[in-house]
Structure 1
Amino acid sequence: MNNQIAATKAAASKKSMEDLTVVLCALTVVGVGATAATPFWPEAWGRAPSIGVVVLAASLTVFGVLHTLYWWRSLDEAAKEAHKWAWWWGGNLGFFVGGAAVVIAAFSGVNLLPAAVPHTDAALIALGVAAAFAAQAVGYGIAWCAWWIARR
């Protein structure tokens, strides 16, 4: 009986993801065709993106969140623990080590931005965010592998 319930839930989850994929495809078509500028865009932020780009970005965000929710619910307890442990330890340690490396490189006079990128405050902030995310992702990956190797 439990297998039948689990199979029904899995089929419903698969159907939901298929429906979301169809909606995302439809929004992609709309996003490509809608070229009008986004209304109420502050001038201080520069040129307004098209409403299609905004719709596409919003739909991708919603799709990503819902896909992650379905994915997380499908994991067993061991996989959930591996991901939580890896994110906590690997993400945090990666953030601190990567952040320290960026700070040391910046104070050492290393040019962290490519020559083609203007050296503005916005570019440096974007570099910092990307470096933090990359360091966390690398730390997470290493910790996730270590968690599974330790439990073999």
Structure 2
Amino acid sequence: MNDLSRPRRPHGPGAYVLVLGTSLVLGGLAGAASAFFDDQPGPVGTAMTAALVSAAMAVGFTACIWWWRGIDEAAREAHKWAWWWGGSGGMAVGSVLLLTLMLRAEEQPLPAGIGSAPADIFVSGMMSILLFQLAGYSLAWAGWWLKHR
């Protein structure tokens, strides 16, 4: 019997942990490299930071593609459903919060942790949206599996 006649077994939790761990290590390396090149002035430092972060993202994205191709159809549907509904819902909630704070900035002082420089405020806003999307995705993913089990 050749290998093509047997059905392929989908990736299990070990593959997920491997991709998650790889992504965390790559993120840490990209952050460390960015901090190292932060002292480099001018366009060379910016180009090196962008190149290293892009390389880490490309490797992480490749790992995610490998993982996606190895999961079964039910897991794919759960992730697609959670990405659409949870991510969109989280983005909507985060956007309402950020727009409300922006429109009422004179009445409601921003917390000190957000920062005062425009770049700090921008990064805080982007991270807020990302965290709301992640929370929405996680809730929607868990709800999909509870509904379909």
Per the shorter chain, which TM-score range? 0.5 to 0.7
Counterpart check, 1:127 vs 2:124: yes
C-alpha spacing 1:58/1:102, structure 2 compared with 1 (3 Å):
closer
TM-score (ref. length: structure 1): 0.64
Instruction: Output the CA distance in 1 between the equivalents of 2:139 and 2:60.
Output: 24
String of CA shifts for 1:5-63, please: whole Å, max 9, x gaps: 748xx9xxx9xx9xxx8xx99xx7xx7xx98x979817xxxxx2584x55543331121
TM-score when normalising by structure 2:
0.65
Correspondence for 1:45: none
Larger Rg: 1
Pick 1 or 2: higher relative contact order, CA cutoff 8 A, min separation 6: 2
CA deviations 1:71-99 (Å, max 9, x no partner) are 00001100000000000000001110122
Q: Once the 2 structures are TM-superposed, how far is the Cα of residue 102 of structure 1 from its aligned partner? A: 2.7
Aligned position for 1:150: 147
Counterpart of 2:77 in structure 1 is: 81
Q: C-alpha separation between the residues in 2 aligned to 1:93 and 1:85?
A: 12
Ranges in structure 2 where 5+ consecutive residues have no aligned partner: none
Which 10-residue stretch deviates more, 119-128 or 68-77? 119-128
Distance 1:109 1:92 in 2: 26
Distance verdict in 2 for CA 1:121–1:68, change over 3 Å: same
- The one-letter code of the counterpart of 1:111 is L
Partner of 2:113, secondary structure, is coil
CA RMSD of aligned residues (A): 3.6
Contact 1:87 1:140 in 2 (8 A): yes
State the number of aligned residues: 124
Task: Find 2:62's aligned residue among 59, 62, 66.
Answer: 66
Q: CA deviation at 1:70?
A: 0.2
| Counterpart contact for 1:113–1:127, Cα < 8 Å | no
User: Tell me, what secondary structure is at the counterpart of 1:114?
Assistant: helix
